[in-house]
Each structure stands twice: as structure tokens, then as C-alpha cells.
Amino acid sequence: MTLIRIEDLDISFGKGADRVDAVRDVSFDVTRGESFGLVGESGSGKSTILRALAGLNSDWQGMINYDGEPLASRKKLAFYKKIQMVFQDPFGSLHPRRTVDQTLREPLAIHRMDDRERRILKVLDQVRLGLEFRFRFPHQLSGGQRQRVAIARALILEPETLLLDEPTSALDVSIQAEVLNLLVELRQTLALTFILVSHDLGVIAHMCDRLAVMRQGRILEFADGGVLADGRFHTEYARELFSASQGYSAETMA
């Protein structure tokens, strides 16, 4: 069953000569429970799509359907509860002067949810953060722990979809492994739908059933897990990305 349907999405910034078409003519579907990847280099428009979906940017053209309903530019509170976002940099996305407890309490207050104490304890357990972290400030946490807080903040509203924008790019590889394991496990136990944005094909290959390769605002091609294993992409650019993800190769290339 299709949960998210995007058709002919166009997003641009600026006007006249300064106009930048960040997303052009993008269409894709995501099935409920699927883990869908968007891969591309900086400026390819992948994060811009996520931001539009999350309601952080309401200035777009085209159609976005969520669970059968078109996304209007002004959305209801109930919509935001279903779809939550985790950002790349846990150093920037957490308020430096708020404790973990305060950070987790805020979405509950906004959505007027009760039983706050129990929900906070439950979500800390879900992201494997011990109770000793509950009253700490972000600077008292490591990068991996901060990202767990960011995931907890998204999960506390019990959403059905998580939008993950480079969730492990700022982390060391051993910490990345822990956070990816946590995300896989949460997706299984909570039956979540993921849209994962990354420049790292390895991360996408590990996490996603299907992916779209983006460049300069457009989707170049779709691929499934099998293609990620052998790198048999259709477009030259996607093959180039794939080979770059395998490390350095001295062969000449434009």
C-alpha cells in the first residue's frame, strides 16, 4: 500500500536571475513499511525533498500525497505527529541549554500528549539511553548519544514515518554501526517507514529496499537492493558514484 506519493514535485528558491531550481520534476512512491533511499551529492536536492515532506518548507509545486490525502501547504497538527525528521548534525539539532528531558518534553507539550513521564522513560529505553542521561545537557553527551536523543525526540510522538537526513554522517564508523543497528531494529519493532537521505551508498545499501539516485534536482534512476550489490546501474553517473564508494581507483575518468 502506497503511503507516500510524490508527483511532479518542483521546488525553487529565489527569483529572476537568482532563481535556483533545487528540485525538478521529481516523482516517486513509498510503500508503507518500506525503507526508501535518496542518494546524491551536495546540491542534488535530496534534503530539500525531505524538508518539503516534513512541512519545513511549504513553498513547492506539484503533488505530495500522504496516506491517501494530499498535503496542503497548511497542515494539521495531527499530520506532523505521523511524520518526524532526524537531522544530520546532532551538535546543531539539539538545544545546547536544554537537558535531554526538556528536549523530549517539548514535542509532547506541543502535541498535548499526556502520560509524559512514562513516555520519556519508554523512549529512552527504546534508543538504549540509560536513565543517567535523562538530565544531561548535549555537551555532556558523545556524538552517538546525541544522535540517540535526536531519534528519541522523533520517536516520542509515535510517528509512522521517519525522515532521516544523513543521520550518521557526522559520526565515527563504529558509532555509525551502533546507530544504524538501532534504526533497523526500531523500524522492525515499530513497523516504521523510512526515507533515508545519504551521500554514502554503503549506508543506503545496508538500510534500504529501494533507492533513487539524484543529481541537480532530478532523479536519474531508481534501483533496488540487487543493483546495490553488483553496481549495475543504468546511468554513467550512478556507476561513478558506486565506484567512488568502493574507495580510490586510479583509472582515469572525466
Partner 1 sequence: MNLPETLLSVRNLSVSFEQRGRRIEAVRGVSFEMGREKLGIVGESGSGKSQTGRAVLGLSEGKVEATRLRFQDLDLLTLGRRIRRDLRGGKIGMVMQDPKFSLNPVMRIGKQLVEALRAHEKVSASTARHRALAALEAVQIDDPERVYRAYPHELSGGMGQRAMIAMMLLPGPDLLIADEPTSALDVTVQQTVLRIMDRLVQERGMGLILISHDLELVATFCDRILVMYAGQIVEMLAADRLHDAEHPYTRGLMSCLPSAATRGRPLPVMSREGVQP
**Binding stretches for partner 1 (CB under 8 A):** 41-42, 172-174, 176-178, 180-181, 184-185, 199-200, 202-203, 205-207, 225, 228-229, 240-241, 244-250, 252-253
Q: Considering the complex, what minimum distance in angstroms separates the CB of residue 86 from partner 1?
A: 17
Residue 179: closest CA among 205, 152, 159, 157? 152
Q: Considering the complex, what minimum distance in angstroms separates the CB of residue 91 from partner 1?
A: 12
Q: Considering the complex, what minimum distance in angstroms separates the CB of residue 74 from partner 1?
A: 36
Greatest alpha-carbon span in the chain: 61
CB of 63 or CB of 190, closer to partner 1? 190
CB of 114 or CB of 230, closer to partner 1? 230
> Strand ranges (DSSP E) for the chain?
2-13, 20-31, 35-39, 61-66, 69-70, 83-86, 161-165, 193-198, 210-215, 218-224
DSSP code at position 136: -
CB of 6 or CB of 213, closer to partner 1? 213
Helix, strand or coil for residue 42?
coil
Q: Considering the complex, what minimum distance in angstroms separates the CB of residue 222 from partner 1?
A: 16
CB of 58 or CB of 235, closer to partner 1? 235
8 Å CB contact between 208 and 200? no
Rg of the chain taking only CA atoms, in angstroms: 19
CB of 84 or CB of 168, closer to partner 1? 168
Q: Considering the complex, what minimum distance in angstroms separates the CB of residue 134 from partner 1?
A: 23
Which one-letter amino acid corresponds to residue 233? F
